[in-house]
Structure 1
Amino acid sequence: MSGISASLTKWFSERPQWLQIAATRLLQQSELTDKDVSELANLCQQEADGKLPKTTYSFPATAFSQGAAGSLRLCSISDVEGVNALAPKKPLEFGKGNITIVYGNNGSGKSGYVRLLKHVCGARETGTLHRNVYKPGAAAQKACISFEQDGVPKTHTWSGQGICDDLNSVDIFDTSFGKVFVSSEDEVSYEPPVLSFFSSLILACEKVASALDTEANRHQSKKPNIPADKKVTPEGIWYEAISAKTSTQDIDKHCAFGSAVETEMQTLQQRLAEQAPAEKAKQLRKQKQHIDTLVQDAQKYLEQLSDENYRRIIAAKKKSILKKAAADTAAEKVFSGSELEGIGSDVWKELWEAARNYSVSAAYKEAEYPNVSDGSRCVLCHQTLTEEAKERLISFESFVKGEIQKAATDAAKEYDTASQTIEALPTSETLKTRIDAAGIPQDEVASQVTDFFAQLQARKDLLPGIDSEEVIPDPLLSPKWIEEANAQSKSLGELAAKYDEDAKSDNREENKKTLHSLQARKWLAEHRAAIDEEVTRLKLLNQLKAAKKSADTTALSRKKGELAEALITDAFVQRFNAELKALGASRVKVDLVKSKVSKGRVLHKLQLRGASQSGLADVLSEGENRIVSIAAFLADVTGRTYPAPFVFDDPISSLDQNFEEAVVQRLCAIASERQVVIFTHRLSLLATVQDYAKKVSIKPEIVCIREEPWGTGEPGNTPLQAQKPLQALNTLINIELPKAKKLFNESGFDGYKSEAKAICSEFRILLERMVEYELMSDVVQRYRRAINTMGKISNLAKISEADCKYFDDLMTKYSRYEHSQPAEVPVMLPEPGSSSFQVGSLRSSLPRIR
């Protein structure tokens, strides 16, 4: 076995990492728990994902050595409820011996006990275990099984489900099991430790695979169905082909859907809906022109009211003020002696300039102003100018045309020119009209436009009151709506160009395809989260699939098959042939061959030797089928090295006398090594077992079960016909007669009559058996084929005429009670204890007869 361990170490080193871990655990414990399976499933996933560290595991040389065999025996079945019609009040005891016969008539509960044991012990063909079909709503199924394991008493309470691991080595043969062997392939139940290890490991793989399937089933697809009209688009085709290999970049590419794409989609919808594209192009360009004009005006006003222009106007204003102040000071000096106030003021200067204009344009066209020639008059009052008046006018003109005054005048003009650079802003009504003409909806953007122009007006209104750059308000920035309006203007221009193109060529079908594609992309964008989730799910399923692939049992099954060739198949065939010979069935030409290995199970089948037809059930007789199935069963279970109990349910059904005796002889031989429990309804089998058990010095236990009003399976006294004559006679004398006497004393003859007649009938039957066992010295029996002559036939010579007459008289007397009686002289039943009841006299005569 050390060589096997070494080769397996190398073989397992080439297996998946998680499987090596599972093998190591199975070497340390008899079976894997649910927690182990869950952990192994996780390790299997990790390895499939490349996240499980690589480690090498070895197997100890003693890993598969076979330890000392233990012992097991069934003791009793009790507390049965809900199983067929079984309702025993007393336990079914199997006794202390190695062979137990459970005898009962049909319907007494034998099959119910066997079916129960099949479920508790985990037989291959358990069948359905029904409750009492005649009692609807019966109690839940349960039973208590008592047994000894290695001499230690144990009990198992069965609650309708599961098996008792301690009892799974109990082998049960019944008709259904025989069909398994003869009619189909089956697995040898005995396995050397190394094969048992492989079976456990294969089971672990199946459980891990099942756990992975369960995990995969938890992740059902939530991928929404794309509308049918979008499936034919490139985006729809991509969506339908999403797989675990779909990358994030690919998803980003197909699910990208921003405002530009939304605008493009809406534009296409509009273009397809437009019936007059050329006229639409004109409307769009006109709308574009209004937008451009509005933007240009906004930018123009923004520039006019800029800080730079503000500073230029304020500078001109400050200069004008300074120059004017200088001129006013000079004027004050010039006009200090004037008779009137305000000479030299701005109002006066306006009057002076008005007088100048009148003089040079009307009164004195040819003369310079002021005209101070002889006879000239004042252009304002038309009075002739005096010399004093002429001098005053000349001094006024000199002041007005002086440098200081000229500078003040120029500064005032400069300020006025600068102020005129800020044009009048449109009124709110005018602005609304222009916004509408630009196609700007009355929403947030329109409010932004209105608010911006209101800010421009407010900034303009502040300018006249500002005399210093330090109090200039914060500048107005170019508003966001201008950028959006420019983009809208560009879009309108491009759209107009597309409408022009639509007007020139027929491209509607192409536009429709493009629109559907964009609509599909929008749908993809709306379901982006579901797409990401689906790709993640598919990647996980791929991982689980890869993990499950590593849980495939093919390699394990193949390896187990290789080991089974040498470790089990040849030995099993030899045992089968030996069993056929022991059962006297060598003439039945059948071979047992290995057919295949499936998931680590080594399967065998029976086939006719040298025949073209392989169906045993169609060729062999019912009895031959039965004996072959028994041989296969015994070859299977006797391969075990520990003494597990055997349970047989009517093993001799359909067998002739030869096969019946051969089977009984084989069972008695097996009972010398382990416990054998036989359920039967045939007295012939009971007698044959007693006979052969005696030859191997085994005392069989006989248990009788019967049907009672409360149910079947009730253990009771062994019937007289199943007892040996002396035992039966003692039963009549010590049990039945006292019972009858009590009835006679308490109830009189009427209560006693039926019991007395039954005793007479039993005694008559017993007399027949006495003839066989005692008078004829057990040389021949009705239920036995063999004739015992050794040491017995000489006793026949001792039979006297008196002995014959004695038995003849008893048979005559007690046969009368079995027949109808004449009304005139009826034969009265003997009273208990009377001399006419001669049951006791027979016991006293036995020594003389022997």
Structure 2
Amino acid sequence: MNNTESTLTKWFSDRPQWLQIAATRLLQNSELSNQDISELVTMCRKDADGTLSKPSCSFPSSAFSQGTAGTLRLCSISDVEGVNALAPKKPLEFGKGNITTVYGNNGSGKSGYVRLLKHICGARETETLHRNVYEPDSAGQKACVSYEKDGIKKSHKWSGQGVCDELNSVDIFDTSFGKVFVGSEDEVSYEPPVLSFFSSLILVCEKVASALDSEANQQQSKKPNIPADKKVTPEGKWYESLSAKATTQDIDKHCTFNSSDNKEMHTLQLRLTEQAPAEKAKQLRKQKQHIETLFGDALRCLEQLSEENCRRIIAAKKKSILKKAAADASAEKVFSDSELDGIGSDVWQELWEAARNYSLSGAYQGIDYPNVSDGSRCVLCHQTLTEEAKNRLTSFESFVKGELQKAAIDAAKEYELASQTIELLPTSETLKTRIDAAGIAQDEIASQVAEFFRQLQIRKDKLPEIDSEEAIPDPLSTPQWIEQLQAQAKSLGELAAKYDEDAKSDNRADINKKLNSLQTRKWLSEHRSAISDEVKRLKLLNQIQKAKKLTNTRALSQKKGELAEALITDAFVQRFNSELKALGASQVKVELVKAKVSKGRVLHKLQLQDAYQGGLAEVLSEGESRIVSIAAFLADVTGKTNQAPFVFDDPISSLDQTYEEAVVKRLIELSEDKQVIVFTHRLSLLGTIKHFAEKKSIKTDVVSIRPAGWGTGEPAPIPLSQSDIKSALNSLMNQRYQDAKKASENGEFEHAEILLKSMCSDFRTLVERSIENDLLCGVVQRFQRPVHSLKIKDLAKLRDADCHFLDSLMTKYSGFEHSQPTESPVELPEPEDLMADMASLKSWREEYAKRTA
């Protein structure tokens, strides 16, 4: 290895300086902290700028020596929620031995536990871990895995995502592993220290590159999007091609916009806004006229409802009232002896004037009214006037033409003329039409206009109710919007004059080009700060990109590939061939070869030997594919120096008896120094593991799981066919018998009957197993292939009484293992009889075990 260190020292001296520092730090500490990565990012950027001092990099002779591997054991899985249908109330314990078989029928939860372990331990192929599809979504997924690390008990609480770092060395084999080497290329798990060093250094490069990317991503551009019409200007083209090379002088040249530029731009805009300036001038003058009309009406109405005019109207009203009162008082004296009321009133006077008009124009033309000559008649009732009537009419006419009445009439006319000085105010509809015609948007000014005229209307409506000058409300002041409209009208007039001048221009293209450049420069000046920031950002990104080029892992990958050729591939292929032989599959013509090196990862693949066409999937049988996958898996994981557990999910699926036994033997060998956990639904595999483990004096642990009403994965007693007869019989006699007896004493007769039936069925199974293991001395057993011929000699102790005894028990309890006709069901024995039979079997087994031939 000394030659390797010397070669690497020379090779690294040609690498970027920051990478040499990273390599030195990795030699000192196998894992770099976040602080280390942060410092290396800074060094990488300095290296890109040429400001990093040159380091010295050397590899000591012990740099890649093999370290001492640690130990790891899985202890239990508990508190499982939201994983498939798993809902165990008790932990799944993996026992104290080195080989544990987890048995359960289909649908008992085995695959759920394996999928959970794959996610927690970070297996290669981790499929989606669904919740119970038959239940509403739960709050989340979680589980707790207890384990021992170098003899220290620990636990990891998994919350639905992430991998436990201390458990990622656990190797898991299930059906999906066949896709790894058989269906595609994959990387070998084991790496010698020097390759692990390269893998770590590649990871450091990726972390530094990722940090640089993250820093670059944080430098988001705040450069505003320039309008499309401005991109064609010289200033716009400069902005679009903005780069890290832009100087302060460049920014000053293109981003300065002063008041003279603004004035010039405004002048150009006035000339180019409209395609028909002469027509526009007419429109503006018309709009100006509407605006002048609007504020002219406002000023006129304001004047009409001014305090002075209101005082004049109220004074005329007061005068009219006084004159009318004087005339009424005179009339009351004149007409005091009248037989009818209301003589001299306004209504009466209207009637009098109507009668006068009728007399002068019709009845007595050319004769003064009233006609009191001889024989004259009343123009209303047409009766001949008496002297009294003639005198009354004459007095009425004297009153009407009297000074007081004339003064009252003149005062009323004066009040009427004063009131008529206030014209009708425009309605809200009329006002809206005028506002629209004036081109005033429905904004604040439009609202102020409407509110002003509303206040004028209120003032006008109140005026007839006011009788004194003191009651006149405060006058309205001239609103600000009138000044604004006056200024707007003036501006429109000036703009119309400009349009008249523009109509005579013929250089619109040049003016438009110049205007667009001025507008672009104005836009750039408004975004000058953002432009300066963008140039700074581009300079920073340029520096980051230069630094990121120094994190390229291609050279590291190539160097690792060269080292892996000799250090990994040959040994890996040898282990694969050895595993094929150990599994009895040497005749399967496949070979494991290196495919390529990708980012420092050495990828391998399985292929047919000397085949002209066809792949593994098309040629190998299902059983052959399975045994090849197991061989590849074992070749991969046995190269590791640690003692991490192996987990196998139904490894013998599709295998015949020969392959099955070969696999079991290999698992037993692995369990000699590592924990092996096998999940299976086959009793034959359970028995085969137990048989070959016993041959090597290895104790096996058997754990059973079953579905329950609340979910799957619930730990349960192991099958009677695989349990210890003595322990199972004691459980029947001491625990289950007492449960049935207690139920009967409590009056729970149906429950007691169920318990008793279950005991009879299990007792019958134990009798059958006693025949295999005790009476026949275990020469042949179900679920096991071997015949223990050496035990045949023990059959010499067998007697007729033994056969009759066991046969009687089989006969008595066989009905509880078979369907029973409903018309004649098998009657349950009394509990005391069952207890006596169990006790007799126990005594017989003890005596038979001690008996000699």
Check if 1:187 corresponds to 2:187.
yes
Letter in 1 for 2:765: I
Q: Offset at 1:167?
A: 1.7
Residues in 1 aligned to 2:207 and 2:613: alpha-carbon distance in whole angstroms: 39
Q: Which moved more, 1:48-57 or 1:654-663?
A: 48-57
Q: Offset at 1:665?
A: 0.9
> Does the aligned pair in 1 maintain the 2:774–2:848 contact within 8 Å?
no
Residues in 1 aligned to 2:599 and 2:695: alpha-carbon distance in whole angstroms: 45
The alpha-carbon distance between structure 1 residues 29 and 626, as it changes in their structure 2 partners (threshold 3 A), is same
Q: Which moved more, 1:90-99 or 1:610-619?
A: 610-619
Residues in 1 aligned to 2:96 and 2:273: alpha-carbon distance in whole angstroms: 100
Residues in 2 aligned to 1:702 and 1:608: alpha-carbon distance in whole angstroms: 38
Residues in 2 aligned to 1:753 and 1:256: alpha-carbon distance in whole angstroms: 101
Deviations 1:531-571 (A, max 9, x none): 32222222211211122221122111111111111111111
Match of 1:358 in 2: none
Check if 1:692 corresponds to 2:692.
yes
Q: Offset at 1:99?
A: 0.6
Residues in 1 aligned to 2:527 and 2:811: alpha-carbon distance in whole angstroms: 103
Q: Offset at 1:511?
A: 5.9
Letter in 2 for 1:576: F
> Does the aligned pair in 2 maintain the 1:71–1:151 contact within 8 Å?
yes
The alpha-carbon distance between structure 1 residues 511 and 683, as it changes in their structure 2 partners (threshold 3 A), is same
> Does the aligned pair in 2 maintain the 1:830–1:836 contact within 8 Å?
no
The alpha-carbon distance between structure 1 residues 270 and 721, as it changes in their structure 2 partners (threshold 3 A), is closer
> Does the aligned pair in 2 maintain the 1:831–1:837 contact within 8 Å?
no
Deviations 1:215-273 (A, max 9, x none): 11222222223333332233333322222233334444444556776677678779999
Deviations 1:403-446 (A, max 9, x none): xxxxxxxxxxxxxxxxxxxxxxxxxxxxxxxxxxxxxxxxxxxx
Q: Offset at 1:92?
A: 2.2
Residues in 2 aligned to 1:120 and 1:29: alpha-carbon distance in whole angstroms: 26
The alpha-carbon distance between structure 1 residues 825 and 642, as it changes in their structure 2 partners (threshold 3 A), is closer
The alpha-carbon distance between structure 1 residues 273 and 639, as it changes in their structure 2 partners (threshold 3 A), is closer
Q: Offset at 1:609?
A: 1.5
Aligned residues: CA RMSD: 3.1
Check if 1:210 corresponds to 2:210.
yes
Residues in 2 aligned to 1:809 and 1:101: alpha-carbon distance in whole angstroms: 35
Q: Offset at 1:517?
A: 4.2
> Does the aligned pair in 2 maintain the 1:830–1:837 contact within 8 Å?
no
Deviations 1:374-431 (A, max 9, x none): xxxxxxxxxxxxxxxxxxxxxxxxxxxxxxxxxxxxxxxxxxxxxxxxxxxxxxxxxx
TM-score (norm 2): 0.67
The alpha-carbon distance between structure 1 residues 514 and 585, as it changes in their structure 2 partners (threshold 3 A), is same
The alpha-carbon distance between structure 1 residues 629 and 517, as it changes in their structure 2 partners (threshold 3 A), is same
Deviations 1:305-329 (A, max 9, x none): xxxxxxxxxxxxxxxxxxxxxxxxx
Match of 2:148 in 1: 148
The alpha-carbon distance between structure 1 residues 833 and 559, as it changes in their structure 2 partners (threshold 3 A), is same
Residues in 2 aligned to 1:85 and 1:812: alpha-carbon distance in whole angstroms: 41
Q: Offset at 1:523?
A: 3.8
Match of 1:231 in 2: 231
Letter in 1 for 2:659: F
Q: Which moved more, 1:3-12 or 1:549-558?
A: 3-12
Deviations 1:460-492 (A, max 9, x none): xxxxxxxxxxxxxxxxxxxxxxxxxxxxxxxxx
Letter in 2 for 1:831: E
Residues in 2 aligned to 1:708 and 1:59: alpha-carbon distance in whole angstroms: 60
Match of 1:576 in 2: 576
Q: Report SS of the residue matched to 1:180.
A: helix
Check if 1:773 corresponds to 2:764.
no
Q: Which moved more, 1:758-767 or 1:130-139?
A: 130-139
Residues in 1 aligned to 2:222 and 2:825: alpha-carbon distance in whole angstroms: 94
Q: Report SS of the residue matched to 1:771.
A: helix
Moved segments of 4+, more than 6 Å: 259-275, 820-826
Match of 2:103 in 1: 103
Residues in 2 aligned to 1:257 and 1:537: alpha-carbon distance in whole angstroms: 24
The within-5 A match list for 1:239-388 is: 239-255=239-255
The alpha-carbon distance between structure 1 residues 761 and 797, as it changes in their structure 2 partners (threshold 3 A), is same
Q: Report SS of the residue matched to 1:722.
A: coil
> Does the aligned pair in 2 maintain the 1:84–1:130 contact within 8 Å?
yes
Q: Report SS of the residue matched to 1:838.
A: helix
Residues in 1 aligned to 2:528 and 2:8: alpha-carbon distance in whole angstroms: 51
Q: Offset at 1:579?
A: 0.8
Match of 2:33 in 1: 33
Q: Offset at 1:203?
A: 1.6
Match of 1:431 in 2: none
Q: Offset at 1:691?
A: 0.4
Q: Offset at 1:663?
A: 0.9
The alpha-carbon distance between structure 1 residues 518 and 79, as it changes in their structure 2 partners (threshold 3 A), is closer
Between the two proteins, the alignment pairs up a number of residues equal to: 622
> Does the aligned pair in 2 maintain the 1:704–1:719 contact within 8 Å?
yes
> Does the aligned pair in 2 maintain the 1:123–1:172 contact within 8 Å?
yes
Residues in 1 aligned to 2:638 and 2:718: alpha-carbon distance in whole angstroms: 31
Residues in 2 aligned to 1:267 and 1:751: alpha-carbon distance in whole angstroms: 104
Residues in 1 aligned to 2:618 and 2:218: alpha-carbon distance in whole angstroms: 48
Fraction of identical pairs, as percent? 68
Q: Offset at 1:786?
A: 2.7
Match of 2:842 in 1: 843
> Does the aligned pair in 2 maintain the 1:595–1:603 contact within 8 Å?
yes
> Does the aligned pair in 2 maintain the 1:88–1:711 contact within 8 Å?
yes
The alpha-carbon distance between structure 1 residues 150 and 841, as it changes in their structure 2 partners (threshold 3 A), is same
Q: Offset at 1:116?
A: 2.4
Residues in 1 aligned to 2:69 and 2:719: alpha-carbon distance in whole angstroms: 39
Match of 1:808 in 2: 807
The alpha-carbon distance between structure 1 residues 749 and 541, as it changes in their structure 2 partners (threshold 3 A), is closer
Q: Report SS of the residue matched to 2:714.
A: strand
The alpha-carbon distance between structure 1 residues 577 and 820, as it changes in their structure 2 partners (threshold 3 A), is closer
Q: Report SS of the residue matched to 1:85.
A: coil
Q: Report SS of the residue matched to 2:54.
A: coil
Q: Offset at 1:815?
A: 1.7
Match of 1:567 in 2: 567
Residues in 2 aligned to 1:835 and 1:140: alpha-carbon distance in whole angstroms: 49
Q: Report SS of the residue matched to 1:156.
A: strand
Residues in 2 aligned to 1:717 and 1:228: alpha-carbon distance in whole angstroms: 78
Residues in 2 aligned to 1:523 and 1:645: alpha-carbon distance in whole angstroms: 68
The within-5 A match list for 1:343-742 is: 509=509, 513=513, 516-613=516-613, 615-742=615-742
> Does the aligned pair in 1 maintain the 2:101–2:678 contact within 8 Å?
yes
> Does the aligned pair in 2 maintain the 1:594–1:603 contact within 8 Å?
yes
Q: Offset at 1:518?
A: 4.8
Residues in 1 aligned to 2:26 and 2:128: alpha-carbon distance in whole angstroms: 32
Match of 2:112 in 1: 112
Q: Report SS of the residue matched to 2:182.
A: helix
The alpha-carbon distance between structure 1 residues 269 and 144, as it changes in their structure 2 partners (threshold 3 A), is closer
Residues in 2 aligned to 1:519 and 1:754: alpha-carbon distance in whole angstroms: 95
Q: Report SS of the residue matched to 2:70.
A: coil
Match of 2:429 in 1: none
Match of 2:791 in 1: 792
Residues in 2 aligned to 1:12 and 1:737: alpha-carbon distance in whole angstroms: 76
Match of 1:761 in 2: 761
Residues in 2 aligned to 1:250 and 1:137: alpha-carbon distance in whole angstroms: 61
Query: Highest Rg: 1 or 2?
Result: 1
> Does the aligned pair in 2 maintain the 1:672–1:696 contact within 8 Å?
no
> Does the aligned pair in 2 maintain the 1:669–1:696 contact within 8 Å?
no
Q: Offset at 1:842?
A: 2.6
The within-5 A match list for 1:76-91 is: 76-91=76-91
Residues in 2 aligned to 1:839 and 1:744: alpha-carbon distance in whole angstroms: 19
Deviations 1:804-827 (A, max 9, x none): 444433322222344566899865
> Does the aligned pair in 2 maintain the 1:607–1:614 contact within 8 Å?
no
Q: Offset at 1:137?
A: 5.2
Match of 2:827 in 1: 828
Residues in 2 aligned to 1:252 and 1:748: alpha-carbon distance in whole angstroms: 99
> Does the aligned pair in 1 maintain the 2:20–2:55 contact within 8 Å?
no
Residues in 1 aligned to 2:532 and 2:825: alpha-carbon distance in whole angstroms: 103
Letter in 1 for 2:813: Y
TM-score (norm 1): 0.68
Letter in 1 for 2:159: S
Q: Report SS of the residue matched to 2:833.
A: coil
Match of 2:74 in 1: 74
